[in-house]
């Protein structure tokens, strides 16, 4: 299988090359040239498979022989060995035909573990085979950083640098990153917001001349195809548990960078009967405005109680646009150029296509805290702020109550104790036992100015020989 750029000007790459390259040389994102498609009978035959066995079936066509079956199975098994729940992605019912898919059972309590534990072990394998050393550089609005560090800190062939917006992530999120004291791990607190961090990472990928000879950058953000690929699995897993493929299932997804919900879109294209995908956003609602009003314009970033969604430029939306514009790379290049001015307008045909599957909803902090309190009072179940937005979006936007609605729980409520306490007036969610001493752990991080040259100089100086 070959992987092509959404902007049409970069060379097609193999799976391994796409994983190591991340951002395409023309500024686009890599997507498969063709998607595998599974018949209803094939999907039905997967009912009852373990999460790991299902992951093997779904990921194998993308790897296309570049890993042996034995190698792929070993990477998958190692990726999910550290998850606390045997089901890997268990579900909890919170209402009539409404389910919460718990994607926080991994080592850092966030859905990013599904992709980044897999990516870490995959990179380990590829780099050891190639006898190659690389530099991982990533931006995080809170959860990607800790999951990437957890996945890469043990790898001798990787130096990892994670940028987070200084004083704009939760204390738990920061400590999870900065208390990993491995010699190859470097946390940078950037004096800016997440979009500043993301723009700096993209600029560094575009011009890697600051790196020592023989080194290249590897992406762990969701621009890396392997991350999207790994996330497709839990859509199939949830649907199979609720009677799929014999009946459709809908999903509500807390959405910032669009990677998680794009994986659901791919699951639909691959044969999973999905009736509805709901984009759930906070006050930073560019995706909601785009789907509802064709208003894809940047506005000032709002700092909210759901900080992982405090994003105004959703990188992975470009991957969806590529399909909405019939995979016309030139058209996507033109749109992205238009967006540099601060706004872009979708064609009527593209918007109509998007609305066939996608709905959207926006919640502010006040509405979000209300739904946390309401669900807790009615069920005794605690939602984190991002998941709460997904649950309320599902209740407002679902087309019917006959189709099971799955709300993706993207983080453990203990990652956002202040918001949960505010919503419930008294409940402080406890960290799991393996993280109970988090606040006593020593931290190490560097606060840097919002200056690309200064950050690149820091990276170059701290790469191990």
pLDDT tens for 50-72 read 999 999 999 999 998 899 999 99
Whether residue 137 lies inside any domain: the answer is no
Please give the backbone phi and psi of residue 122, each rounded to the nearest 5 degrees, phi first.
-65, -45
CA distances from 283 to 4, 300, 351, 407, 448 (A): 34, 10, 22, 19, 27
Beta strand spans in 103-180 (E): 134-139, 158-165
Question: Which residues are marked as active site?
Answer: 112
Please report the pLDDT score of residue 8 as a whole number: 96
Q: Which residues, at least 6 apart from 50, have a Cβ–Cβ distance to it below 8 Å?
A: 88
Kindly give the confidence (pLDDT) of every residue in the chain, 465 residues in length, as a single tens digit, with 9 standing for 90 and above: 999 999 999 999 999 999 999 889 999 999 999 999 999 999 999 999 999 999 999 999 999 889 999 999 999 999 999 999 999 999 999 999 999 999 999 999 999 999 999 999 999 999 999 999 999 999 998 788 999 999 999 888 999 999 999 999 989 999 999 999 999 999 999 999 989 999 999 899 989 999 999 999 998 888 899 999 999 999 999 999 999 999 999 999 999 999 999 999 999 999 999 999 999 999 999 999 999 999 999 999 999 999 889 999 999 999 999 999 999 999 999 999 999 999 999 999 999 999 999 999 999 999 999 999 999 999 999 999 999 999 999 999 999 999 999 999 999 999 999 899 999 988 989 999 999 999 999 999 999 999 999 999 999 999 998
CB atoms within 10 A of CB 219: 25
Whether residue 356 lies inside any domain: the answer is yes
Please report the pLDDT score of residue 143 as a whole number: 83
Please report the pLDDT score of residue 22 as a whole number: 83
CATH of the domain at 230: 3.40.50.1100
Whether residue 121 lies inside any domain: the answer is no
Q: How far apart are CA 382 and CA 377, in angstroms?
A: 9
Q: What is the DSSP string of 315-359?
A: TTHHHHHHHHTTT-HHHHHHHHHHHTTTEE---HHHHHHHHHHEE
Whether residue 405 lies inside any domain: the answer is yes
Domain count, the chain: 1
Kindly give the interhelix angle for 329-339 and 317-324, rounded to the nearest 10 degrees.
130
- Structural tokens at position 138: 């990533």
Please report the pLDDT score of residue 70 as a whole number: 98
Whether residue 19 lies inside any domain: the answer is no
Q: Which domain holds residue 240?
A: 79-106+225-424
Whether residue 38 lies inside any domain: the answer is no
Beta strand spans in 166-273 (E): 185-190, 217-218, 249-254
Q: How far apart are CA 30 and CA 23, in angstroms?
A: 7
DSSP secondary structure letter of residue 440 = G
Whether residue 377 lies inside any domain: the answer is yes
pLDDT tens for 294-324 read 999 999 999 999 988 999 999 999 999 999 9
Whether residue 437 lies inside any domain: the answer is no
CB 461 within 8 A of CB 210: no
Instruction: From 244, 234, 242, select the one nearest 272 (Cα to Cα).
Output: 244
Please report the pLDDT score of residue 4 as a whole number: 98
């Amino acid at each position: 299988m070959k992987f092509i750029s959404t902007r049409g000007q970069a060379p097609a790459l193999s799976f391994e090359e796409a994983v190591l390259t991340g951002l395409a040389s023309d500024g686009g994102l890599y997507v498969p040239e063709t998607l595998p498609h599974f018949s209803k009978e094939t999907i039905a035959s997967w009912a009852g498979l373990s999460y790991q066995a299902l992951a093997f079936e779904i990921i194998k066509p993308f790897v296309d022989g570049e890993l042996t079956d034995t190698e792929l199975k070993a990477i998958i098994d190692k990726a999910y060995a550290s998850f606390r729940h045997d089901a890997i992605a268990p579900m909890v019912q919170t209402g009539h035909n409404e389910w919460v898919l718990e994607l926080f059972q991994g080592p850092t309590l966030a859905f990013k573990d599904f992709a980044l534990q897999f990516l870490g072990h995959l990179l380990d394998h590829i780099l050891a085979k190639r006898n190659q050393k690389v530099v991982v550089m990533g931006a995080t609005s809170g959860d990607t950083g800790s999951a990437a560090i957890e996945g890469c800190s043990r790898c001798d062939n990787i130096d990892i640098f994670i940028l987070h917006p200084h004083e704009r992530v939760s204390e738990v999120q920061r400590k999870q990153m900065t208390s990993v004291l491995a010699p190859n791990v470097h946390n940078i607190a950037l004096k800016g917001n997440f979009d500043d961090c993301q723009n700096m990472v993209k600029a560094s990928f575009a011009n890697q001349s600051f790196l020592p000879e023989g080194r290249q950058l590897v992406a762990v953000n969701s621009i890396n195809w392997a991350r999207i690929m790994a996330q497709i699995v839990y859509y199939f897993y949830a649907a199979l548990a609720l009677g799929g493929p014999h009946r459709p299932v809908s999903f509500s997804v807390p959405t910032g960078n669009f990677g998680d919900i794009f994986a659901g879109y791919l699951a639909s294209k691959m044969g999973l009967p999905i009736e509805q995908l709901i984009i759930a956003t906070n006050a930073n609602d560019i995706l909601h405005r785009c789907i509802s009003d064709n208003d894809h314009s940047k506005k000032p970033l709002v700092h909210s109680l759901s900080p992982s969604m405090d994003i105004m430029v959703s990188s992975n939306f470009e991957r969806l646009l590529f399909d909405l514009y019939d995979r016309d790379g030139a058209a996507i290049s033109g749109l992205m150029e238009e967006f540099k001015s601060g706004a872009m307008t979708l064609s009527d045909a593209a918007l109509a296509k998007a609305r066939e599957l996608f709905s959207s909803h926006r919640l502010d902090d006040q509405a979000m805290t209300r739904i946390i309190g309401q669900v807790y009072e009615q069920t005794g179940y605690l939602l984190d702020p991002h998941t709460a937005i997904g649950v309320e979006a599902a209740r407002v936007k679902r087309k019917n109550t006959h189709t099971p609605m799955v709300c993706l729980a993207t983080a453990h409520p203990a990652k956002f104790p202040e918001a949960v306490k505010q919503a419930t007036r008294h409940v402080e969610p406890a960290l799991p036992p393996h993280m109970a001493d988090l606040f006593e752990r020593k931290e190490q991080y560097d606060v840097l100015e919002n200056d690309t040259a200064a950050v690149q100089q820091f990276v170059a100086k701290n790469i191990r020989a």
